[in-house]
Structure 1
Amino acid sequence: MSFAFIASITSLFGAALIGAPIALGIFAASITYLLLSGQDMGLVAEQSLNGLFNSFVLLAVPLFIIAANIMNASAVTDRLLEFCIALVGRFRGGLAQVNVIASLIFSGMSGSAIADAAGIGHIIIRMMTKEGRYPRGFAAAVTAASSVIGPIIPPSIPMIMYALVSDTSIGYLFLGGIIPGLTMAVFLMAYNFYAARKRNFPRDEVVPLNKIPGVTVRAFPALMLPVILLSGIYGGATTPTEAAAVAAAYALILAVFFYRSLGLKALYISILEAARSTSIIGLIIAAALILNYLVASENIPNLVADKLSGWDTSPLVFMLAIMALFMLLGCLFDATTLLLIVVPLFLPTARSLGIDLVYFGVVITLNIMIGLITPPYGVLLFVINGITGIPLREIIREIWAFLFVLICALMVLVLMPDLILFLPKMFGYLPQ
C-alpha cells in the first residue's frame, strides 16, 4: 500500500470528522492520491463520468424515486393503507401489523427504505399515536423496522448499486429478495403479535367483511404495480431499467387519471424532490467510481482476498464476520457508500470461497439495511425523528427488540441459502 493511498484515506477520514459530505470527502481523497502519485488530475472526471454514462442500469434509480414520490403525493398510498387496514387491522395491535403489511406492499413500488418511512410510514405513525393508542416510540420503531423491507422486496435501489459493482444480474437479485423480504415480514408480525398481547395494545376499528371487496377494488390498480414490474422483467418484455420507467409512468397515470388526486403543484414538487435525491446519489456514485479506480490501482481487493484466504476461512465464518462488520458500518455510513466502496473489497474473497454472488448480495443488502436502524446513528431513526418530532430516545428505547428480531431473520437466511436462491433457480439461475 503506497504512501499516496494512505494519505488519501487519511484525508477521507479527516473530511468525515469535520462533517464534510461523503461525496466531497471522497473527491478530496482521490485528488490527494493523484497529486501525490503524479498521475493526471483529469482521471477524476474521466473515471467518474465514464462510469456514470456507461451504466444504463443507473437510470432505474431516479425513475423508481419518481414513482415513489408520486404515490406518496397522491391518493395511491391512501388506497393501499385502506386495503391493509381492512386486511389485518381487526386484530389486537392491528395497526402495528398494518404497518408491516403496508411496507411489504409499498416496497414493491419504491425500492427505498427512506421513501417507505417518509411516505406511508409517516401516515401510519400518526394513526397509531392518535389519542395515545400506541406509545410514540413503539409506533416509530415498528415503522423504522418495517421500512427495512423496502430495499429487499423488488424493485430495490441498493440491489441496483450492488449489481453495478459485482456484475451480477439485477433480475436474479430481485428474485432473490422476495422470500427474504417475506421472511422479515413474518418475523416482525410475530413480534407484533407477542407485543400486542403482552402490552395489551387496543383492538382497532374493524372494517366490516361486506366492505372488504370494495376496498380491494379501489386498491387493486395500485396493487397491480409490483405485478406489472415483475412480469415485465421476468417475462422478457422489459429490462429492469425499462421496468422502472413503466413504474413511474403507471404511478403517474394512476394518480392523475384514475384517482385524480395529483395536481400540477404536487407533481412539480415530486419531480423536484426526485431530482434532489438523485443528484445526491449520483454525486456519491461518481465519487465512488474514482475511488474504486484508486483501490483497484493499489490492488487492494486482491490483497484482502489473499489475506483472508491465508487464514483458511470457511464460507460461514466469512459471512458471519461480514455481517458483524456491515452491521457496525451500516449505522455510521449510508447504504450507497457501503455498497459502492466497501462491498467491492470483499467480492474477490467471496468468489474464492465459492459463495454465490446473488446470495451474497441479498445478505449484504439486508445487513446494511438493518444497520440503518442500529443506534445510535442509524439513518432511519433520524429520518423518522425529523418527520414526526418523536424524541430519538423514545425510538431507541423501543428499537432494540425489532433489531433483535431482524437479526434473527438475517441469521436464518445466512444459514439457509436456498431460501434466497429458490426463486432465481426456478427462473434458470445456476448458482456459482
Structure 2
Amino acid sequence: MAVNTGAIAVLIICFFVMIFLRFPIAYSVALSAILCLLYQGKDLSVVCQQMVKGISSFSLMAVPFFITMGVLMGSGGISEKLLNLADACVGWMTGGLAMVNIVASYFFGGISGSASADTASLGSLEIPMMVDRGYDVDFSTAVTISSSVEGMLVPPSHNMVIYATTAGGLSVGSLFLAGYLPGAVLAGSLMVGSYIISKKRNYPKGNPFSIRHFLKELSVSFWALAAILIVVVGVVAGLFTATESAAIAVIYSLLVSVYIYKGLDWKGVWKSLEDCIDTLSIVLILISTSNVFGYCLTTLHVPDLFASAIHGISENPIIIALLLNLILLILGCIMDMAPIILISTPILLPIATSIGLDPVQYGIIVILNCGIGLLTPPVGGVLFIGSAIAKRPMEKIVIATLPFYGMMLVALLLITFVPNISLFIPKLFGYVSTAPGVIGMLAGA
C-alpha cells in the first residue's frame, strides 16, 4: 500500500487550520479536499463528480422531510402539550420540574429529532417556569440543554439517516428502533443526577400523580405522538420506506399543526418552510462536500492507516472502544454533528466492527458522543442557545452542567459495553447481529 504522506498532511492540516480559524465547516471540508487533490495533480472535475454522488441517494431524500416534519410540529403548538404530559407522568417527584424537563425532551425528541429545536422550543417555556418555582437558573438551563440530547437518540432523527447512508446503506428502521432504550438510559441517568441535586437543594415536588389527569393529557398529546408511530411503525413493518414515511409524516404534521392544534396559520407554514430550506441547504452542502473529503481519505488509505495506529496503541477491545469514544468527544468540541458523522464514520466504523461493535450500536454511540459535543465549548451550538435563552454567561452554564456531563458519560459507557441496550428492540423485530460486543471479543480472546 503506497502512502502519500504529503497529501495526507495537506488534507488534515489544512482542514484543522481552517476549523480553528473559524471557517464555515463546509468550506473547510471542501477547500482542504481541493488543496489535497491539487497537491496530487488530480483533475478537479473529481470534486463535482463526488459532490453530486454524495447527494444522489434515495435514502437521503428522507432528510428534508424529517427536517420539515420537525419544524412544523415544533412550531405548531405542541411544546406546551408535551410539557403537560410529562408533568402528569413525573411532576410528583422531588425536583419535579427537572424531571418534567427531562421526560418532555424524550417526547419532543420523537417529534423534532433535534437538540437545538428541543432547547429553543421547550427551553423558552421550561427555564422561566423552573426559575419561577424556585429552581436556580443555571441548574434549570443545564437540565434543559442536557436532556435535549435525548432528541437525537429517539427516532425519527435525520442524523440517523445520514449515518445509515454513510455507513453503507445500513437499515434506517433498525437504527430507529435502536434509539429508544439508549434514549431512556440517558433520560434515567439525567433523572438520577437531577434527583440528587434537587434533594440537596430542597427543590419542590409537583402535584401528586393522578391517573385521570395523565389519561387526559395523553389524549391531548396523542395527535403529536402519533406522528412517531407513522414513521417508526411504517418503516419497521415494511409499509413504507424511510423516505415515504417521512413524506407522509410531513403531510400529517401540517394537518395537525394547522387544523387540530391550530398553532400555525398558513402564513406561519410558509415561514416554517423558509426555516426548513435554510437548514436543509446547510445539511446538503455538508453532505456533498464531505463526500469529496471522504473520497480523498479513501484514496489515500487513511482509514487503514488510522486502524493500524489505533491497534498499535492496544489490542484490547475495551481500550480501543474507550479511544473511539474519546476521539468522537474531542471532535464534538470543535465540529458540528453532521460533519463528524460524515467524515469519521468511514474511518472509525471498520475499527469499531473489528472489536465487536455492531454497526447499529456504533451508530448510537456516535450520535450520543456528538450530542455531548453540542454541550461543550468552543463550538457547542446547544450550549449557546441555552445560554441565550437564560441570558446567562456561557461559563456559568458549563459549570452547572458538569454533573450532567458525568451522568451522560455513564450512559455512554453503558451503551458502549452493553450491546443489548441498543440491539434488544431491533432483535425483537428481526434484526440479526453477529457482533459479539466488546466484552464478548475480550472473552473470546
Which of 93, 96, 100 is 2:95 aligned to? 93
Match of 1:41 among 41, 44, 69: 44
Q: Say yes or no: does 1:9 pair with 2:12.
A: yes
2:321 aligned with 1:319, yes or no? yes
Displacement, 1:422?
1.0
Indicate yes or no: 2:371 matched with 1:369. yes
Q: Residues 140 and 390 of structure 1 are in contact (CA less than 8 Å); yes or no, is this contact kept in structure 2? A: no
Q: Which residue of 2 aligns with 1:139?
A: 140
Cα RMSD (Å): 1.9
Could you tell me which residue of structure 2 aligns to residue 383 of structure 1? 385
Any idea what the Cα deviations from partners look like across 1:74-118, whole Å, max 9, x if unmatched? 222222222222222233321111111111111112211111111
Q: 1:137 to 1:421 in 2, by over 3 A?
A: same
**Conserved 8 A contact 1:60-1:241:** yes
| Matched residue count | 430
Change in 2 beyond 3 A, CA 1:397/1:102: same
Q: Report SS of the residue matched to 1:33.
A: helix
1:150 equivalenced with 2:138 (yes/no): no
Aligned with residue 287 of structure 1, among 289, 292, 300: 289
Residues of 2 paired with 1:36 and 1:42: CA distance? 15
Tell me if structure 2 keeps the 8 A contact 1:332–1:377. Answer: yes
Partner of 1:418: 420
Question: What is the CA distance between 1:217 and its match in structure 2?
Answer: 1.8
> 2:305 corresponds to which residue?
303
| Structure 1 pair 237–312 and aligned structure 2 pair: CA distance change class (3 A) | same
1:19-168 correspondence runs (5 A): 19-53=22-56, 55-130=57-132, 133-167=134-168, 168=170
Deviation track 1:247-267 (CA, whole Å, cap 9, x = no partner) reads: 222111111111222112211
User: C-alpha separation between the residues in 1 aligned to 2:309 and 2:92?
Assistant: 55
TM superposition shift of 1:207: 8.1
Compute the displacement of 1:389 (Å). Answer: 2.0
Distance 1:212 1:365, change over 3 A: closer
The amino acid that maps onto 1:15 is: M
1:157, 1:431 → 2: CA distance? 23
- CA 1:31/1:254 → structure 2, altered by over 3 Å: closer, same or farther? same
1:242 lines up with 2:244 in the alignment: yes
Uncovered stretches (5+) of structure 1, i.e. residues with no partner: none
Deviates more, 1:138-147 or 1:414-423: 414-423
2:227 aligns to what?
A: 225
The residue type equivalent to 1:25 in the other structure is: S
Instruction: Give the partner amino acid of 1:162.
Output: Y
Q: 1:396 to 1:286 in 2, by over 3 A?
A: same
Secondary structure, aligned partner of 1:151: helix
Whether the aligned pair in 2 keeps the contact of 1:103 and 1:121 (CA below 8 Å) is no
Change in 2 beyond 3 A, CA 1:137/1:284? same
Between the aligned partners of 2:389 and 2:276, the Cα distance in structure 1 is: 18
1:158 deviates by 2.1
Alignment of 1:273-284 (within 5 A): 273-284=275-286
> Which amino acid in 2 is paired with 1:371?
G
In structure 1, what residue type is equivalent to 2:291? L
Amino acid at match of 1:78: E
* Structure 1 residues 214-259: Cα deviation after superposition (integer angstroms, max 9, x where no partner): 3322112112222222211111111122222222221111111112
Structure 2 segments unaligned to the other structure (5+ residues): 435-445
Letter in 2 for 1:129: V
CA deviations on 1:136-182 (whole Å, 9 max, x unpaired) are 11111001110111111111222222112212211111211111111
Q: Distance in 2 between matches of 1:388 and 1:245?
A: 35
Between the aligned partners of 2:315 and 2:367, the Cα distance in structure 1 is 22
- SS of 2:341's partner is helix
Change (3 A) 1:389 1:60: farther
Pairing 1:131-210 to 2, within 5 Å after superposition: 133-167=134-168, 168-204=170-206, 210=212
The CA deviation string for residues 13-51 of structure 1, in whole angstroms up to 9 with x for no partner, is: 232232210111111112212222221111111101122
- AA in 1 matched with 2:358: D
Separation in 1, partners of 2:17, 2:319: 32
Going from structure 1 to structure 2, the CA distance change for 1:208 and 1:183 (only over 3 Å counts) comes to closer
Of 70-79 and 96-105, deviating more is 70-79
What is the TM-score of this pair, normalised by structure 1? 0.94
What SS does the aligned partner of 2:431 have? coil
